[in-house]
Amino acid sequence: MNDLIEKLRAAVGPQNVLTEPADVEPYVLDWRGVYRGETPAVVRPGSTEEVAAAVKACADAGNAIVPQGGNTGMCMASVPRAGRSDIVLSLGRMNRIREVDGLNNTLTAEAGAVLANIQQAAAGADRLFPLSLGAEGSCTIGGNLSTNAGGVNVLRYGNTRDLVLGLEVVLPDGQIWSGLRGLRKDNTGYDLKHLFIGAEGTLGIITAAVLKVFPRPSASATAWAAVKDPEAALELLALLRRHCGDRINAFELISRNCLELVLEHIPGTRDPLPAPNEWYVLTELADSHGGDALRSELERALEAAMEDGLVLDVTIAESSAQAQALWKIRETIPEAAKGEAAMLYRHDIAVAVSAIPRFIREAREALETRFPGANLICFGHLGDGNLHYNVFIPGRARADAAAREAHDVTDLVYDLVQGYGGSFSAEHGVGLAKVAELRRYKSPVELELMRSIKRTLDPKGLMNPGKVL
């Protein structure tokens, strides 16, 4: 190991190889604080060539590598395994915006660029990079690409996969694949970039990407509406589509339990409406036309929804500050849940949009029957069928190892998801946390195809081992 660390120091500079326990601590603990891995060293390259040199040194030594971006993932894909000698390769120093091409509507960024900085760089060119999620101030685009992150704007712009035109990747043997092409049409064989997007660093290390950007909307309108139930929320989405077309950026379903968590644990938040309701929708429109016209369009649509009995009460943001306050409620739900001592069983699931109300109802009944007093924390992207269907179980504490390792709650939820033809991981990936679920729910044919790709690209099994497969 000492010889490998010396080669890594030669590759990236001695100051960029961290070995002291206090220095490596932030890199071995997952965001939720429930898993701690181990590493002999954290390597911090500053260029693609340095990444390639570090990877080749590890490949020659037969030592595993764990790529890491902002380490904000929910499934422990970016932390090293416990009891092993995995080298953490942090891309935080590779944070440059290489190019913004306004005429081609593309932005080229290195993998360590923080998502919020990419958004700002696009805005500086009067463009929009639409990927938006709660961790955007700390997550990096490399991590977003590796997990095919979703976020709140998938309804209009698609997942991260839909926002990528080209990639630069360091392969497991240290070779560099230079695929940074800003082309919308390229039918010259297999589209290799899609192998690495969503692979969670198990096939190679993404070092840069050409991303799609869009004309920047000049106006937006945001509303927080109380609805009777998820069925009404789904009908409201259909009504808004009839009235507003593709101007709908986001459409989020939020349960009352989520709001109460935020009000309790997140300072500076308040209930947007005077009376409590069981379910809410947070929606946003955006367009290049004037704000008054867009707001009027949203008002007319919501008035029609109230006449139809779909909306019980509503508030429309009067300013960008008010809109940000509404979005803060939605974006801080995961952080608020961390404030509870109880164990939260998290489920990032997807079912067909039309089936969401029925799934919520059936899953609630099953959980409350089997676990009396279960407290459901349900929120998510109703417009694309992705729910964060989470639950607190009475008497189970996060500090209790037995509670953390229990699978009864998760098995119940995922079995129901499987019955709906859904997915047990909509946007968070698999990582370490859901490897057993992948084996349980994926068909043998799918698993063998995935293993074949892994064997071909990473025959020594050194890239983020133990994750996904």
Considering the four listed CATH numbers 3.30.43.10, 3.30.360.10, 3.30.70.890, 3.30.310.40, the one that applies to the domain covering 2-90 is 3.30.43.10
When pLDDT is averaged across residues 241-266 and rounded to a whole number, the result is 95
Full-model pTM:
0.92
Identify whether the C-beta of residue 134 lies closer than 8 Å to the C-beta of residue 117. Answer: no
- Rounded Cα distance, 420 and 423, in Å: 9
Whether the per-residue pLDDT at 290 is higher than 80: the answer is no
- Rounded Cα distance, 62 and 68, in Å: 19
Whether the per-residue pLDDT at 291 is higher than 70: the answer is no
- Domain formed by 219-334, architecture: 2-Layer Sandwich (3.30)
- Rounded Cα distance, 169 and 175, in Å: 8
- Rounded Cα distance, 70 and 210, in Å: 19
Q: Spelled out in words, what is the top-level CATH class assigned to the domain 340-428+439-449?
A: alpha beta
At residue 338, the pLDDT reads: 87
- Residue 358: Cβ within 10 Å count: 14
Which segments of the chain belong to CATH 3.30.70.2740? Answer: 340-428+439-449
The type of residue at 135 is: A
Instruction: Kindly list the distances between the CA atom of residue 65 and the CA atoms of 115, 194, 292, 457, in Å, as whole numbers in the listed order.
Output: 24, 21, 53, 14
Q: What b-and-e string marks burial along 188-202, b requiring 16 or more CB atoms within 10 Å of the CB?
A: eeeeebebbbbbbbb
When pLDDT is averaged across residues 357-385 and rounded to a whole number, the result is 95
Q: Using the structure block, give the residue that is written with the tokens 């001695």.
A: 14
Which segments of the chain belong to CATH 3.30.43.10? Answer: 2-90
When pLDDT is averaged across residues 121-133 and rounded to a whole number, the result is 96
- Is domain 97-215 in CATH 3.30.465.10, yes or no? yes
Could you read off the pLDDT of 69-82 as tens digits, one per residue? 999 998 999 999 99
Number of helical (H) and strand (E) elements in the chain, helices listed first: 17, 19
Could you read off the pLDDT of 372-394 as tens digits, one per residue? 999 999 999 999 999 999 999 99
HSE toward the beta carbon, residue 83, CA cutoff 13 A: 1
At residue 110, the pLDDT reads: 98
Q: Using the structure block, give the residue that is written with the tokens 């709001």.
A: 259
